[in-house]
Structure 1
Amino acid sequence: MLGTRSPAKSTTPRSGSPIPTPLTRARIGDYLRGRGYQFLVDDDGDLTGTWDGNRFWFLLLGEHEEILQVRGRWQRQLPLERRQAVALAVNDWNRERIWPKVYVREEEGLLALYSEVSADLEQGATDLQIAQLVACGLGTGVQMFSALEGLIPSDDAPPPGVPDN
């Protein structure tokens, strides 16, 4: 029957391989709780939390909420004058790595940097696949934001290579 979903948990057939089942927020939440992560559900029903001070969302996108996206937002915002330097850093990251996709948006007169890892799970996913995607989105996002801290010093920090007095 169209629109009917199977059980939320992966099941294991006699062959020993888990059967992919539909993606749900509950399954993502189960993974996050299992890792001891703190998160909440926002007004849109999305799971969200902070890792190393950066906000992350765990979004279900697509007509049937079959796309899992782990989206992170860097805790810092930058002045518009730094757009060229930020664009170079983002382009270098995206050229040299598969994950996460990184982009810059102008928000309220400042630059905001985002990371994204997305996967189409139209055919369902096992718990292990969900765990791997969430871990990839969080791990690579945090890594990218950390790398940016070294590449783009805060306004009150000395330029790279200059000793801090």
Structure 2
Amino acid sequence: MNGPGWLLRALGGLPTPAKRAPSDDQVPRPVTRDRVGDYLLARGYRFVVDDDGDLTGTWDGSRFWFLLLGENAEIIQIRGRWHRQLPLEQRAAVSLALNDWNRERIWPKAYLREEEGMLALYSEVSADLEPGATDNQLEQILACGLGTGVQLFAALESTLPAGGGPPPDVPDN
């Protein structure tokens, strides 16, 4: 059988993944900038703290931010900005590509914004973690935001014509 893993499991072609029982040390804790930074450092990723106090770095040439939003910083958002910009005349083609992406995938949300007369493309994964998160939950959300954002931008590289320049300098991972 060939096809996506979830479909193969549903049709009986793959075993259901084993679920890990939560351990007592995996108690949800508030999400903080330090916890996000610890995750990034543990993987050898390089990042900086910007003027707004947000963690930011580049992965495969595109900038990503790790934002804590909401009244109590209870919402984690991993936002990526593609390293390229496109002319406004390509809005229709870019919109079609992003609509295809959003229709066929759950993550990341993909959108574009007009910035300084050019189109900027963004990826975004957000999660409301008001009750806190275990280390495993936080790691999964951060990996999802980075991994799917990088996948989106790689797909755009092969879909959209070349143009635009890189973002300002930040250490690349």
- TM-score normalised by the shorter chain: which range applies? 0.7 to 0.9
Q: Higher relative contact order at CA 8 Å, sep ≥6: structure 1 or structure 2?
A: 2
Partner SS state of residue 140, structure 1? helix
Instruction: Report the equivalent of 2:159.
Output: 151
Q: Percent identity?
A: 73
* 2:145 pairs with 1:137: yes
Question: Deviating runs (4+, > 3 A) in structure 1?
Answer: none
Instruction: Report the equivalent of 1:95.
Output: 103
The alpha carbon displacement at 1:18 in A equals 1.2
Instruction: Report the equivalent of 2:58.
Output: 50
Partner SS state of residue 126, structure 2? strand
Aligned mate of 1:29, from 10, 32, 37: 37
Aligned-residue RMSD, C-alpha: 1.2
Partner SS state of residue 44, structure 1? coil
Amino acid at match of 2:95: A
Partner SS state of residue 106, structure 2? coil
Instruction: Report the equivalent of 1:106.
Output: 114
Instruction: Report the equivalent of 2:48.
Output: 40
TM-score, scaled to structure 2:
0.80
Instruction: Report the equivalent of 2:92.
Output: 84
The alpha carbon displacement at 1:98 in A equals 0.1
The alpha carbon displacement at 1:155 in A equals 4.5
The alpha carbon displacement at 1:16 in A equals 2.9
Amino acid at match of 2:46: Q
Tell me if structure 1 keeps the 8 A contact 2:113–2:120: yes
Aligned mate of 2:71, from 57, 63, 69: 63
Deviations for 1:101-153, whole angstroms, at most 9, x for unmatched residues? Answer: 00000000000000000000000001111111110000000000000000002
Kindly tell me the number of residue pairs found equivalent between the two proteins. Answer: 142
Partner SS state of residue 48, structure 1? strand
Distance 1:90 1:155 in 2: 17
Distance 1:66 1:16 in 2: 23
Any gaps of 5 or more consecutive residues in structure 2?
A: 1-22, 165-173
Instruction: Report the equivalent of 1:3.
Output: none
Distance 1:85 1:27 in 2: 39
Amino acid at match of 1:153: P
Instruction: Report the equivalent of 2:19.
Output: none
